[in-house]
Amino acid sequence: MNRRYFLGALLAAAATPVLASSTRERPRQLSFHNLRTDERLSVVYRIGDRYQRAALGQLNQFFRDVRTGDAAPMDPQLYDLLYDVKDSLGDPDARFEVVSAYRSPQTNALLRKTSNGVARNSLHLRGQAMDVRFPDLSLRHLRDAALELGRGGVGYYPRSDFVHLDTGTVRHWGA
């Protein structure tokens, strides 16, 4: 073994934990535009394996039921799903347009009376679902990226112009 090889191997071994650590500790940021309230929010919700409590509180308020004003804890795994969808599409600065997130029982009951396809026990009631789109991306691409991850539910609603994503069991519906 020559000296250059030895030094190169030593430097590579020393740098590996630093690179792994920086990847593990990478902040996860999401940006949203709530179409019902016209509010916008960009937030780092997780750093490494740690969810950021203050950011989760901001997100819970941001995704409140717009009809009643009620807020509820959103499932942090939903944010991980959204982040991974956005990451797989290759646009780190993409901003989700949010059609619907948390729904109070009153709002869900109202929507069941006036709309088709609203589930009685919707995951929106538990903060585990969100209806989203991107302004510059086809719904089909968004749906396909979510399906490729193989996590949660993916509903495709081209007539209503959104894709439903949730952290429930793996399933999909729509064309």
Contact 61/113 with Cβ under 8 angstroms? Answer: no
Find the domain containing 161 and state its range.
27-173
Of the candidates 104, 123, 135, 124, the residue with the CA atom closest to the CA atom of residue 33: 135
Terminus-to-terminus CA distance in the chain, angstroms?
Answer: 61
Amino acid of residue 4: R
Count up the domains in the chain and report the number. 1
pLDDT digits (tens, 9 = 90+) for 45-84: 999 999 999 999 999 999 999 999 999 999 999 999 999 9
Distance separating alpha carbons of residues 118 and 112, to the nearest angstrom = 5
Paired with 41 in beta bridges are 32
Whether 81 is covered by a domain: the verdict is yes
The reported pTM is 0.84
Q: What CATH number does the domain containing 50 carry?
A: 3.30.1380.10
pLDDT digits (tens, 9 = 90+) for 113-125: 998 778 889 999 9
Q: Give residue 135's pLDDT band: very low, low, confident or very high (50, 70, 90).
A: very high
pLDDT, mean of residues 36-44: 97
Whether 98 is covered by a domain: the verdict is yes
Of the candidates 138, 137, 132, 134, the residue with the CA atom closest to the CA atom of residue 154: 132
Whether 8 is covered by a domain: the verdict is no
Query: Looking up tokens 């500790």, which residue turns up?
Result: 25
Amino acid of residue 57: G
Whether 20 is covered by a domain: the verdict is no
pLDDT higher than threshold 90 for residue 98: yes
Paired with 46 in beta bridges are 28, 51
Tell me the pLDDT of the chain averaged across its residues. Answer: 89
pLDDT digits (tens, 9 = 90+) for 49-59: 999 999 999 99
